[in-house]
Every structure is written in structure tokens, then in C-alpha cells.
Chains A and B, each alone.
Chain A
Amino acid sequence: MAPILGIIASSISGSISSNSFESIATVTVGSGGASYAEFTSIPSTYTHLQVRGMLKNSSNDGILMRLNSDTGSNYSAHYLYGNGTSAFGDNSVPTSYFYLASGSTSVQPSAFVMDLLDYANVNKYKTGRILSGTEVNGSGSYVWLFSGNWRNTAAVSTIRIYPNAGTLQQYSHFALYGIKS
């Protein structure tokens, strides 16, 4: 379909096409906890991926992600974060994982929304952006904004999410979606 240039938004009928955002798979952690959550055999039929997560872990340490089981120092990240008192900017270059979120050991879960752009394109490195946060009604709360890069041209077919220390706790929930263009 050719784009319609200069279209007036109010003339568009309906709303966002519900056919362009598809649920692919979900991982829910059971009563025994889990050392990681993983999506495998991700089809290359979408344009972008989105992972939405809500989690608790047994440690306050960070929640990390690796693509296609790559454990090399092929990732980098720049980020902004706030702790309720001050704002900070920093980077991790290079590193061996994507950083997704801060951890939460209590009843207050951490949450994140990650967009992984052009994940199946074999001609470019992969870029992701992440909004995440942990709110505990006081000190120990964090809100994060990350930009991450994986220096590999392979299509992303596996996503593993894991805590830097400890285990993912029961009721942690991760959902993978595909976005078509």
C-alpha cells in the first residue's frame, strides 16, 4: 500500500491495526523460581520485536539479557536513570549483555518494555531501547532509560533474560510480541 502523504489524522477511521502487533510467546515463572526466561526459535517474519516483563528476583541485582546465546563482549549500552533524588547518565562499553532493569526482591515487581528494532535484518547490528523501573515506595526505587547495541548482523532468534545474581521468582512474567510493518 502506497503511503498517503499529507493525510489529516482526523480523517482516519478506526484505530491502530490490531493485525500489526502479534503475541508470539509468554514465559511465566512457576513456584520453584527459575535461573532465566528464554524465547527460542523466534521467527524472522516480523519487523520489530517487543518484550514486556514484570518480575521479581531473589537478589536486588540487575536483570540482564543476551541474544542468540552470545556470551562475548559484543554488547554496549548507554543509559539514564533516576533514584528519586538525583539523575545519572553512564555507559557500559563493551559488555557481555544488555541491561534491562533493576531487580526487586519484595512484593513490588520491576517492569520493563523493550523494543528490539529490525531484529531479523542481516545487514546491520541490532539496536534496542528499554524503559524500565522498580518502585518500592521509598529508597531503592529506580527508573531507567537504556539504549543498547549488539554488534552482530545475525537475525535474532533467541532471547534470554536472567538476573545478574539470584533467581527469577514465581509470578515473574515475560511476553514476546512481533510488530509488522
Chain B
Amino acid sequence: MAAGSTYTPIATTTLSSDSNTVGFNTISGSYTDLIVVCNIKSASNGMELYMRLNSDTGTNYSRTILTGNGTSASSARNSNSTSMRLAYETTGTDSGNWSTLFIHLMNYSNSTTYKTVLCRAGDAAKELSENVGLWRSTSAITDISISGVNSFNAPYLGTGSTFTLYGITAA
């Protein structure tokens, strides 16, 4: 069996001001999977987290979510969306409440299948969730954009939020 070290940090962003989006661009295709690790503070009440790939604004995204809120569990679906909905947070601008997300982009650079995304998200003041998302494109993922609002044009991502992109390479 071959062996080699991997789980390589590619890029990190820490927001110095409230922002509309965070992006990773010109991502190398030399890894097998990508993982984005996020620690996010809401800058505005009602923040939700969305992701777009390769700047695609078409209705090519969908996701299924499993959620627990401390009282009950539920599931929901978004189909034919213009972005991939990842998580929901509505704890306003309380600086003590941060969301954490681990976003797994599986086999992101293959050009033969649509892209499946797994996401674990949690906000201790609100809920935890598990997501499976789909981007209906066979293109290799080279760009990732994350926003706190579906329009991608309002500064819902709060100052101090961090976003780190890792690459994992299979033997």
C-alpha cells in the first residue's frame, strides 16, 4: 500500500469587517477532496449560509437537510436552487454565538460526475444539521463562494469569522 501525508491547508480568510461573501478562487485540481472549515458569526439577524461553485448562478443546486433543535428532529429539501443552502442561523448579532461548519466537497475535480457535498453545521444557540448537497455540473470545482444571504449581496458574515480550505489527496 502506498502512503503519504495529506490534509493540506490551502488558504485561510479571517474577516476584518462584515462581508457579503468569502471566496476561494483558482483552486488547484491536484487534490481528491476539499474541506472547508468555517467558524462564523452572524452580522445580521436571520443569517443563513449558502455556497456557490464556479460562480454558477443557475438553478443547478439542491440539498437535503437533517436538523435537530433540542426539541425535535426534522428534514427539508431545496431543489433547483441558485445556490446550495448549507445552514441556518438566526441568533442575530450576538457575538457569543458562532456557527461551525465542516463542508466536504467530494471528488471535486473529476469531470465525469455531478458534485456531491456533505456538510455538518452547528450553532449551539439554535440547531445542528447534516446536509447533503448536489451541484449538477461535471466541471471541476475551481471557485467556492460562501455568503450569509441567498442574494450574496448583503454583509451578513460577521467580523472575525474564519474560513479555511484544506485539500486531501488520496494515494
Give A residues with C-beta under 8 Å from B: 15-16, 18-26, 39, 41-43, 52-54, 56, 80-87, 89, 107-113, 131-138, 141-145, 171, 173, 175, 177-178
Where chain A touches its partner, the secondary structure class is strand
Bitwise, B49-68 to A at CB < 8 A (1) or not (0) is 00000000000001111111
Can you name 24 A-B residue pairings with CB atoms under 8 Å? A16-B7, A18-B7, A23-B3, A25-B1, A52-B33, A52-B168, A54-B106, A80-B73, A81-B66, A82-B75, A87-B68, A109-B107, A111-B104, A111-B106, A111-B117, A111-B132, A112-B118, A131-B118, A136-B62, A138-B62, A138-B77, A142-B132, A143-B131, A171-B110
Report A153 CB to chain B, min CB distance, Å. 23
Closest 7 CB pairs of A and B: A133-B132, A82-B75, A84-B77, A82-B66, A175-B170, A21-B7, A87-B73
Chain A residue numbers with a CB within 8 Å of B67 are 82, 87
Report B146 CB to chain A, min CB distance, Å. 18
Residues of chain B from 77 to 120 with CB closer than 8 A to chain A in the complex:
77, 79-80, 104, 106-107, 110, 112-114, 116-118, 120
B45 within 8 A of A: no
Report B131 CB to chain A, min CB distance, Å. 6
Bitwise, B9-20 to A at CB < 8 A (1) or not (0) is 100100000000
Is the Cβ of A52 less than 8 Å from the Cβ of B171? no
Chain B residue numbers with a CB within 8 Å of A19 are 5
Q: How far is it, in angstroms, between the C-alpha of A53 and the C-alpha of B107 when the chains are bound?
A: 9
Is the Cβ of B113 less than 8 Å from the Cβ of A87? no
Is the Cβ of A22 less than 8 Å from the Cβ of B75? no
B143 within 8 A of A: no
Chain B residue numbers with a CB within 8 Å of A21 are 5-7, 168
Q: How far is it, in angstroms, between the C-alpha of A25 and the C-alpha of B8 when the chains are bound?
A: 17
Q: How far is it, in angstroms, between the C-alpha of A134 and the C-alpha of B64 when the chains are bound?
A: 9
Q: How far is it, in angstroms, between the C-alpha of A114 and the C-alpha of B171 when the chains are bound?
A: 17
With CB as the reference atom, state the residue of chain A lying closest to B8: A18
Q: How far is it, in angstroms, between the C-alpha of A80 and the C-alpha of B118 when the chains are bound?
A: 15
Is the Cβ of A171 less than 8 Å from the Cβ of B65? no
Is the Cβ of A175 less than 8 Å from the Cβ of B32? yes
Chain A residue numbers with a CB within 8 Å of B150 are none
With CB as the reference atom, state the residue of chain A lying closest to B133: A135
With CB as the reference atom, state the residue of chain B lying closest to A23: B171
Is the Cβ of B4 less than 8 Å from the Cβ of A143? no
With CB as the reference atom, state the residue of chain B lying closest to A170: B112
Report B104 CB to chain A, min CB distance, Å. 6
Not counting A82-B67, A111-B118, A135-B132, a sample of 14 additional A-B residue pairs whose C-beta atoms are within 8 angstroms of each other reads A24-B2, A26-B170, A43-B1, A82-B66, A82-B130, A86-B74, A87-B73, A109-B106, A111-B132, A112-B118, A131-B130, A132-B132, A133-B131, A175-B32
Is the Cβ of A84 less than 8 Å from the Cβ of B116? no
Chain A residue numbers with a CB within 8 Å of B168 are 21, 23, 52, 175, 177
Is the Cβ of A108 less than 8 Å from the Cβ of B106? no
Q: With A137-B80, A143-B132 given, is the CB distance from A41 to B1 under 8 Å?
A: yes
